[in-house]
């Protein structure tokens, strides 16, 4: 009898920890895919970033570079790119970090006379 109680408790814990959160994530993913609109910035499961140009029943037309359009299955959309993320990416690309300069005296000090 106690074995049956343990099995039931383990099943309930498994359901609370694994199944329920997975269902919640799946519902959120489906809702996001259904609410996609032309002009949305997306990222696909394959890591491509692009802007939605057209919507179909099961497909999207996505511009991944100026003049480069691809068809993507709706279920391949991993998420929407938020405006904050776009600005951060642009800032990171525009900032060129200068290479550290070494002083000739410091290099000479490192070299030992033979």
**Separation between Cα atoms, residue 113 and residue 73, nearest integer Å:** 66
* CB distance 69 to 62 below 8 Å: yes
> What's the count of helices (H) and strands (E) in the chain, helices before strands?
4, 5
- Hey, where are the domains in the chain? 1-35, 37-95
Written in H, E and C, the secondary structure of 22-72 is: HHHHHHHHHHHHHCCCCCCEEEECCCCEEEEEEECCCEEEEEEECCEEEEE
Does the pTM surpass 0.85? The reply is no
pLDDT per residue as tens digits for the range 18-29:
888 899 999 999
pLDDT per residue as tens digits for the range 34-72:
999 999 999 999 999 999 999 998 999 999 999 999 999
CATH of domain 37-95: 2.30.30
Q: How confident is the model at residue 1 (pLDDT cuts 50, 70, 90)?
A: confident
**Separation between Cα atoms, residue 46 and residue 72, nearest integer Å:** 10
């Amino acid at each position: 009898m106690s074995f049956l109680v343990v099995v039931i408790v383990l099943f309930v814990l498994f359901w609370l920890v694994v199944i329920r959160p997975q269902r919640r994530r799946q519902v959120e993913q489906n809702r996001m895919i259904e609410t996609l609109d032309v002009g949305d910035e997306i990222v696909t499961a394959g890591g491509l970033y692009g802007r939605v140009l057209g919507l179909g029943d099961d497909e999207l037309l996505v511009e991944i570079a100026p003049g480069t359009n691809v068809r993507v299955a709706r279920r391949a959309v991993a998420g929407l790119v938020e405006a904050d993320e776009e600005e951060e990416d642009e800032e990171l690309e525009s900032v060129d970090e200068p290479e550290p300069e070494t002083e000739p005296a410091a290099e000479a000090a490192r070299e030992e006379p033979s």
